[in-house]
Structure 1
Amino acid sequence: MNKRLIKLTHRLLILSGIIFLAGCNTLQTQPSAIENQSPTQSHIFPFYKEALKMGLTEFDRKNYGKTIDILLPLAELGNLTAQLNLAAAYELHTPADDHEAVKWYMKTAKKGNPDAFNALGLMYESGRGVIKNNDEAIEWFQLGAEQGDSEALFNLGRHYQQRPGAEQDYATAIQWYMKAASSGHPLATHQLATFYAHGVGGLEVNQKLALDLYHAAAALNVPESHYEIGVYYKTGLAVIKNQSTAAKWFQSGAELGSASAQAALGDLYWQKEALKMGLTELDRRNYGTTIDILLPLAELGNLTAQLKLAAAYELHTPADDHEALKWYMKTAKKDNVDAFNALGLMYESGRGVIKNNDEAIEWFQLGAEQGDSEALFNLGRHYQQRPAAEQDYATAIQWYMKAAASGHPLATHQLATFYAQGIGGLEVNQALALELYHTAAALNAPESHYEIGVYYNTGVAVIKNQSTAAKWFQSGAMLGSANAQVALGDLYWQGEGVLRNSDQAMRWYVSSAEQGHKVGQQKLANAYQQLDTQYDLANAVPWENKLAEQ
């Protein structure tokens, strides 16, 4: 019983719809006609309005068949909105019915509708529903342009731009794009930006103006403009290079649907993750894996990848100094100070190149000119470590002072040593030396911790305090100073400044010996012998043999 009632109700609703549509066909279409309806017809207007709303909703949902069913009766009544959207639904339906689309666009065009002008221009341009005719297309676009319609202005520009080879007319296209852009058309603004970026149609290349136009188009939600701005920041063209800002523009373009932005963003994320993996492997000293991961990124021009790849080639076993040199050269061309330093070291040592001190100095100076503390230090070290006849302490000190002034730990430590020992014409000044050692120690220079410990252990320039000395030796030993490890081992062995502890002494002797420290190796061998057990005597032999080999 219920099922029969439901079916009956459904049929009655369909019948009511048919009666409603039939009744609608008797109505006039102008607003005035709606206002002047007879009392017997006035009740139909709410349905008329509701039907239009339903049709447009189905259109937005891309249900074009339903759109046609709902809007056709309204279009036949002369409703302009229904006619225009009906025509569009016929175009977009599968299969399309271009002839019906043209029919309804023509009806709305007769009412002076610029959207219809544009649609008909596109139909004649592409030959859909009509015989292809460019002159006819232009006439329709111009009808819209005469009304100041930005879409018509843009379509005229696009039409002249996209004509086949000999018929292409960039000058006319630019004129129409400029008019469309001035009326706020997003794609016209984007196209003009592209013309200025590439110098198209006789326009001079103007990256700044192009970028301004891309920004204007991006503000109007043109996806490709977001992408293009990202490219500017990625490459550093007309702006300061900034990968983070590039990523933001690629992100916004990707969200708006730009395939180019999506690909670029994917590349950035891929590069970021791959770079992170490569650097992790470098820290783990897995140099072969580092090379495998970073090489593709380096070939894409990633500066960090290029620099770290070069370092991995240097550190790999066996080293490939020629590949290292190749990638350092690539990064040096981008004014990278780390590459300048690396190349200076390679020319200084003759790795991957013929040894050349003058060339080394030139590379170090390129970094020094940029105020790089490592380059300043390397220049000082280079002049200090030259063979005796070429050694130049005065020049070394000048560079060390500049490097120390810019906060370089080893340069500060080296200056302290020069003052402590009166090297390079400097007067011995233990107070200044100790002050410089403290500065370098604060910058984690391991040997500076050791030297301060020596001051307190010997009582030079300070009150002797072996407990304080032990603290400095301890911090230096923890930072890896073999000298500090031996000195701390001595204090534990002798019980000076700390409680005597042979185990701790042995621990630090071993640490220094394993670093190849000769005194540490001798102390370790002696300590094993003094402990005088069969086990300890046996352990002394390998270290005694190492010393004999040296």
Structure 2
Amino acid sequence: MKYSISAFLFASFSFTALASDGYDHADALRACRPPDFPASVRREGRDGTVTVRYLLDEQGAVTDARIAVSSGERALDEAAMAAGRACKLPPVQRAGYAVRAWVSVQYVFMLPAKNEYISALRAGAQQGDPKAAGELAAMRLKFIWTVPGWSEKDAVTLLAAAAAHDADAAMELGRYHARNRRSEAALNAYEAAAELGHMKAGYELGRIYSRAPFEDHAKAFRWYLQGAEAGDPAAQRAAAQAYVLGKGVAKNVDEALRWANAAAAQGDVPSMLLLAREYQNRNGKYYRPDQAIRLFADAAEQGNVEAQYAMGFLNFSGEGMPRDRKAAWDYWLKAAEQGHERSQYALYFYLKDLDPAASQRWLQQAAAFGYAPAQTAMGSRIHNQQPDAAKDKEMVEWYRKAAAQGNPTALNNLGDCYETGRGVPMDLMEAKRWYEQAVAKNSDIGLVSLGGLAEHEKRYEEALKFYTRAADTGFAQGLYEQARLLEEGMGTQADKPRAFQSYLKAAEKGNRQAMRRLIRVYEAGELGQKADAAAARAWQDKLAARPTL
């Protein structure tokens, strides 16, 4: 998980933050001591901009810092790194739980002489120049430097006056209101910017109309399309996505690809990914795996973690290219080191047999970053061990974190905890509630669990219905449980031929219990089958070759 913040330092060294992706702690950043402007650099008349990536732990403390974009001045880079390390921020939240996250912070070291530009803007604003007034007010609202007697309210008033005549000022006013979650004021400002011809206003208006309280996907699409036709790559990408999803407009893959290509031609990396995924679609008319690989590779080269993850998968699987596990490792490692949870989780599987200790470290990282499958796996590792009161509480906590994100396996496993009393008091009604939540997320194992609960309470007909629902999806455990009840005539009349077919399907899908039952069937000639020593041995060989989980 990554978030972006920008901090700007002027001669006074006061600063603020602009946050995105839901991470908004400008006040906390203001309270942090800003970097010192190294005297050696300042004396030589040099300045610069540094972007630093900080890793926040679950308490908001900085545990790692890396230069993302260097200023070209080692002293400035080191000053920025040191400032962030000493700062503590509120932790990033995911589904109500604090998680680790990478936060990008940009520091701008500006020499006092450059404040002459600000003085020039002030002079222009006093003479009624709307462009100068708008830029000055926008800088005041973004960067927060000390201007005696000039409040934020004064800056907003000045910006609003400029926005009536200047498209850039109207856009800045919209962004200011959006940062402060004033949706209606942002909407009005962006509409003014659109009327004044600002290319990017359509995209911002589309975003506002794509969610509450103004949710209207048809109107959102019309604004995206206006921005797209004006040449804005973000709006072109949004229009492409609308055509793919059929949001606000009928689905149209041709139009989606047209706009995605237009955005990608301007270097828009998300549009490259959209195109690549469409070219990967075997069932689509634009299936072009070589083009997909080229786009993923280009985006990965630019540091995009989703593309690096995709290239890792393609190299590992050999899909459309020679299989190269070393290349897969390299791509996943690059993305994982940037905090990409799925790549960390991929490395966990990749290293399971090669380096179990490293595998476990990557799993722990992915879980700490809030990746629900990794959190579920952390809980499952404990679940598969002997009960231990302290560890079982940790197991339940991992499951709760993943369940809060709607992970179906975690929802089911929490139900199992309540059914068996591991880590929580035994409570069958609570177990049923968690199983039902798992089923609502299309969990086949949730159906089997509900069947098991009903069977435990001797409600065999209901149990068979749950097992059959799971079996109808082809779920191996559902097929096995269905076969068992059909064989015994529990909840229905005994149906041995049908039971045999369900055992066979489950065994063919690798279910070990079904394999064992077929071995006995062929050894003893049960369920209407003739004794067949060769068939029994064949299933014994398959069972022996099947790894134990």
TM-score by length of 1: 0.47
The structure richer in helix per residue is 1
- Larger radius of gyration between Structure 1 and Structure 2: 1
Q: Relative contact order (alpha carbons < 8 A, sep ≥ 6): 1 or 2 greater?
A: 2
The structure richer in strand per residue is 2
